[in-house]
Amino acid sequence: MTSTLYLHDNWRFSAVGETDWHRAIVPGCIHTDLKANGLIPDPFYGTHEGSLQWIDKQDWQYETVFDVPQDMLNKSQIEIVFEGLDTYADVSLNDTPILAANNMFRTWRIEIKRLLRAEGNRLHIRFRSPIQEDLPKLERLGYGLPATNDQSERGGLGGKKLSVFSRKAPYHYGWDWGPRLVTSGIWRPIKLEAWTQARISDVYIHQSSVTVEKAQLEAHIEIHSEVEGPAILRLHGAGRTIESTITLAKGVQTHRIEIEISHPDLWWPRGYGQPSLYTFRAEVAIGGTAIANRTVRTGLRDIQLVQTDDEAGTSFYFQVNGVPVFAKGANHIPNDSFITEVDEERYRHEIVTAAASNMNMLRVWGGGVYECDVFYDLCDEYGILVWQDFMFACSMYPGDAAFLQSVEEEAKDNIRRLRNHPSIALWCGNNEIDTAWAQYDEHGGWGWKQQYTPEQRAQIWSAYESIFHRILPDVLAQLAPRAAYWPSSPMQALTGDRSQHAKNDSTRGDIHYWGVWHAVEPFSNYNVNLGRFMSEYGFQSFPELRTVQSYAEEKDMELESDVMRWHQRSGDGNRLIKEYMDIYLPTPKDFPAFLTMSQILQAEAIKTAIEAHRRKKPYCMGSLYWQINDCWPVASWSSMDYYGRWKALQYYAKRSFRDIAVSVEEDDERIFVHIISDGRDNLEATLHVQLFQFDGQLVREQTAQPHVEANHVLTALTLKKSDWTHGCSLPEIVLIATLEHEGNALDQKFHYFAPVNKLRLRKATITVRPMDADETTFLVETDVLAKSVMLTASAEGVFSDNYFDLLPGLPKTVHFLQREQGQTAFHLAQPGAMTVSSMCDWTEVDA
């Protein structure tokens, strides 16, 4: 059997050329080690990041001394495995060079038995500066490549964009939501693996065909053997053992075992069924003794990206086990600029948040990292589909042989590592590069290609096609033949002509719609810029006050202070927030109120988009907003800040993504009440529509008994607006639509007939009373309409609902929730000291 020894202890580091050594944490990176040793300040505080740009110009060295147990030394094969070195690393063991690594995303394995001794083995790693390493590549190429988000000026490099030359997390070089902190270090585990005779190096459960009645599988079992001769190969799983006789040969070989499972427990996305999982264990035995084994976990499902012509164009949706799935969720970026700071608990908080917010998909965006195994494990367990980008974003890349070979090996490593995860629904070549370059539209794109000569343009596009139209799809077809591939997001189709590139009004492919925000288009444009799959759209806000206080002092609490502008990477982002706020919301009375109001503004924008997308089902079959998380404390598009604190948007998304949802819209003459079902069962429902004045007086009401068909959208009521609003002051009324099933409220939506800043709000008296002895559940009531009621707690946690509207006579019950370490869901907890406020408390509205 394989013996494993992790090399995580007794590390130290120093700058190359210096004699002072300091304690290092492995896995980790140079920035976190420098900070832990008091050698640099907190990179996230104030404007400290700017003073730390020297770090990436320096070579750094790490070393440890370790012993090897005798039982491991007795094995005939001993390999050292580097799961992640960031990025250019020269490795020696006992003064013998064993590896020159050049790709952050690769796994490196080297046989080292001849170099080992029982005690005092010295492992030394020199990390070459990614800046010094890649400057000569730029010089040799002779011209720069587009890399819009590479903050080279902030790094003291002027216009020299180097991120494209290294296979390293692009966001380390800066992005429009993240700092420029170009790391080096041992970012994933290092271990020794020792074995004799044979080891199982990989088990892939290929799902040939999966239906409700039967799953036909083929286990591909890769064996690395140093012996020849007969052996027994067993596969345990699904309550049975399948055994076959094989002949081992020296070297690497793959054997296949077919499995058939009747009436399998299928894996379903959240909201569609249980995400059932199976564990399979492969075992090799010689002479009746097991000499190697390997265990993998997967879920059995049939998943397809369906692109078929229809009367409106060409569909773009995911079908799981024969059921069309409306993808509800967000884009995911790395949870930290220093990825080794993200432990399992932080990953679990994100995935629990996604599931609790009624999401069923996250897009792992291509400017970060191929995530750690635990991220995908959690997505498997919670039924969260994954749109997986390869790690390329918003840049053009070189096409030399060494770079292309590195990309190919990177793809092989990560596809092999991740292909058993049932959550992965799609592999996507890159983020926004096809639309940015716009090869077939001379006047399209982001103005990149016009900077180059015809010869340079041909060379750059040839490199693009080599990576995204040849290498990546070919490797995927070889290693995960049933997996879907999409060359670039957004894109209409791989046509080789002008119709390939994405448009906001496209009737095929996927769309990134940024007219709202970057172009200062009105929120109402979310209702008209609709595509088949909305894979990116977003709106910014600030985090809450205590998060801002983690990086700013009282003197910095002003929109245009140096610190506020430093923690805003979207150019005119702060100005855009204020500009939109002036259009839609009352004026905040002070800066803390501005922070809160920015979150309401963001939430209202994205609510408009989500519900517009869902109402257009099945024409539109996906709504993934940008973005769920942050990599540092910052003003950004996130719905959950760096510390995991839910912004208003997270609560709004939870409501708007409900599996059975109500959505109200209006035109000049009519009010439409829609019911959206993502469920797999029909239901008989009761719909109450009521018109109230802000003092709680009921003006009109109507009840319907709609039949809600599974997985469909129904316009349950169409009301004549003039009849319903007759005799009313529009800024003083609210329409409330409540959907019930068997006496239980499934959803409730408030709809207003004037913009929020035109509503005649009055200061509300809001009461919060505990409903249980443990004081975890509370009844919230008001005397007049309270807009955007915000509950705060001194304890870290979330409320079951927050930032909601409240009307007299319609009290709200809320729970305070926490998730302790290792818990799989939020549970009732005590909030500590609580406060309650609403929009009139944050604005200049007269009482």
Active site residues: 432
Residue 722 CB neighbours (<10 A): 10
7's tokens? 């090399």
What is the b/e burial string over 739-755, where b = at least 16 CB atoms within 10 angstroms of the residue's CB?
beeeeeebbbbbbbbee
Residue 657 CB neighbours (<10 A): 24
Q: Residue 758 has what DSSP assignment?
A: G
Q: Could you tell me how far CA 390 lies from the centroid of its own chain?
A: 13
User: Among 243, 294, 292, 239, which residue's Cα sits nearest to residue 264?
Assistant: 239
Structure-token match 């591939």, residue found: 485
Judge whether 659 and 667 are in contact, CB under 8 Å. no
Tell me the sheet residues that pair with 108: 82
The angle formed by the CA atoms of residues 392, 395 and 400, to the nearest 5 degrees, is 80
Quote the CA–CA distance of 663 and 655 in Å, as a whole number. 11
DSSP H or E segment with residue 752: strand 744-752
Q: Could you tell me how far CA 185 lies from the centroid of its own chain?
A: 23
Residue 481 CB neighbours (<10 A): 10
What number of H helices and E strands is found in the chain?
A: 17, 51
Judge whether 427 and 401 are in contact, CB under 8 Å. no
Is 379 strand, coil or helix?
helix
Judge whether 627 and 331 are in contact, CB under 8 Å. yes
Judge whether 379 and 386 are in contact, CB under 8 Å. yes
C-alpha distance from residue 788 to each of 163, 628, 839, 843 (Å): 43, 21, 6, 12
User: Among 348, 333, 347, which residue's Cα sits nearest to residue 638?
Assistant: 333
Bridge-based pairing of strands 786-793 and 834-837 is: antiparallel
